[in-house]
Amino acid sequence: MPARVAPTRSSTAPPMREAPRPSAPRSSTPGSGTPGSSAPGSRSRLLGAYRLLTAIAHPLAGPILSWRTRKGKEDAARRPERYGEATVARPDGQLVWVHAASVGETMSVLPMIDRILGGGDFHVLLTTGTMTSAQIARARLGIRAIHQYVPLDGPRFVRRFLGHWRPEMAIFAESELWPNLILETARSGATLALVNARMSDRSFRRWQSGSTMIGQLLSRFDLCLAQSQDDADRLSALGAGSAVCVGNLKYDVPAPAADEGEIERFTAALAGRPRWAAASLHPGEVEAVLDARGTLAASYPDLLTIIAPRHPEKGPEVAAAAASRGLTVACRSNGDMPASGTSVYLFDTIGEMGLAYRLAPIVFMGGSLIAHGGQNPIEPAKLATAILHGPHVHNFADVYATLREAGGAEIVADAESLAGRVASLLAEPDAVALHAAAANAAVAAYSGALDRSMAALDPFLAAAIGER
């Protein structure tokens, strides 16, 4: 079994083409213009309609946020931030704004934020859209970085946000293409960059056959750094004239940490029991994992199944589903330790996947048995874990293809095949070790995107800081 795979066109960055250089600054006034105005070139009717509808839909923001708060998806104490109302003062001096959607994007930009802060005497504002990512930001950001929730994509909210923060440069991660956010930021005169950008083939075909709206948005970016050459080609075809391939930042995210004392404590408690993990599970996958666990129990009666739901607040639902089958469940959020009779151990906490992955030699990555698109497998690969996944991984197609080609990941179709593959691996520890080593070597081979991204960003950062 190979431990390393040669780079393919779509999964890694070739030697980077020369990135675009900063051009003359925009002569714009923050907050100016009307909701219907758009980017250079022919106007998109769809974009104009979106701008108009979001301008008149401001009264709906309150009921929407109230509903999301009841669902546990909004932080009531920080709700003003979603209206663009800052809850902290803007620091004096230069400010770079970095926006990431959720947990995965946040983890990928944190090393970039560290590099930005280390390269100059300015501050960084990080915005995200989920409570989990906010908790990670709170734990990881240093004293010169601030976290705020991103405002809702209404012109009034975005202008209020920009009027307070006045960033010299804005860096958006991956596919965060909110129209008002992009257009108003460009109008403010801030330099705009899109990093770790991706455009799936499915999204490309949809945009290509539809409105010119995407071109109106992508053309606003001064720099577009893509995960793969295919992504760069698609983005360029849609209107991002500055798209270049630098690789995937997620390959450069450090392996998640874990407390050594906790590792020792759990290892002692498990006392050599066979175990596997199912991580980042979404609704519709828990039952399949519990079905697989039931099948495995016939051959491995003392098997421990570690489950980490994608959203920790779903922990009680997962625990109830397991308990309904007569299984004994222990929950990390309660401070429980797995006892000899524990069948399912639930990691329903934030920031502890490093511990979960270190305890399990085999992991099934969720979001892949349903049409969600998969979850990022790079973290378990960096911790030398054998990886299984379902057929729906289009959000991370290149990463999973790299792992499969290297022999570090395998596809399972359903609960039955999941149980069969886990059973085979449990019976062959040497095979598990080979799979894990292959996964680890594969992701190590694709590092370097952070260095290439910073090399492309540095001239724009220097120009933006010098011009404002």
Q: Please report where in the chains the tokens 């519709």 appear, as a residue.
A: 284
Give me 243's structure tokens: 């798209």
Per-residue pLDDT of the chain (468 residues; tens, 9 = 90+): 333 223 333 334 444 556 676 765 554 443 333 333 334 445 688 899 999 999 999 999 999 999 999 988 999 999 999 999 999 999 999 999 999 999 889 999 999 999 999 887 889 999 999 998 999 999 889 888 999 999 999 999 999 999 999 999 999 999 889 999 999 999 999 999 999 999 988 889 989 877 789 999 999 999 999 999 999 999 999 999 879 999 999 999 999 999 999 999 999 999 889 999 999 999 999 999 999 999 999 999 999 999 999 989 999 999 999 999 999 999 999 999 999 999 999 999 988 999 999 999 999 999 999 999 999 999 999 999 999 999 999 988 889 999 999 999 999 999 999 999 999 999 999 999 999 999 999 999 999 999 999 999 999 999 877 654
Which residues, other chains included, contact 170 with Cβ-Cβ below 8 Å and sequence gap of 6+?
96, 97, 98, 99, 185, 190, 191, 192, 193
3-state secondary structure 224-236: EEECCHHHHHHHH
Q: 216 near 239, Cβ under 8 Å?
A: yes
Burial 380-411 (b: 16+ CB within 10 A, else e): bbbbbbbbbbbeebbbbbbbbbbbbbbbbbbe
Q: 348 near 331, Cβ under 8 Å?
A: yes
pLDDT at position 333 is 95
- Residue 192 bridge partners (DSSP): 170
Catalytic amino acids?
Answer: 105
Domain 260-444 falls under CATH 3.40.50.200: no
- From residue 203, alpha-carbon distances to 210, 419, 466 in Å are 11, 33, 37
Identical topology for domains 45-50+67-248+448-467 and 260-444: yes
Which residues, other chains included, contact 19 with Cβ-Cβ below 8 Å and sequence gap of 6+?
223, 225, 242, 244, 455, 456, 459
pTM of the model: 0.82
Taking Cα atoms as reference points, which of 158, 192, 196, 154 lies closest to residue 175?
196
- From residue 441, alpha-carbon distances to 30, 140, 148, 163, 384 in Å are 48, 27, 36, 47, 9
Q: 334 near 237, Cβ under 8 Å?
A: no
Q: 374 near 365, Cβ under 8 Å?
A: yes
Domain 45-50+67-248+448-467 falls under CATH 2.40.50.140: no
Give me 206's structure tokens: 């949809």
pLDDT at position 464 is 79
Domain boundaries, the chain: 45-50+67-248+448-467, 260-444
> Using alpha carbons only, what angle is made at residue 205 by residues 199 and 207, rounded to the nearest 5 degrees?
75
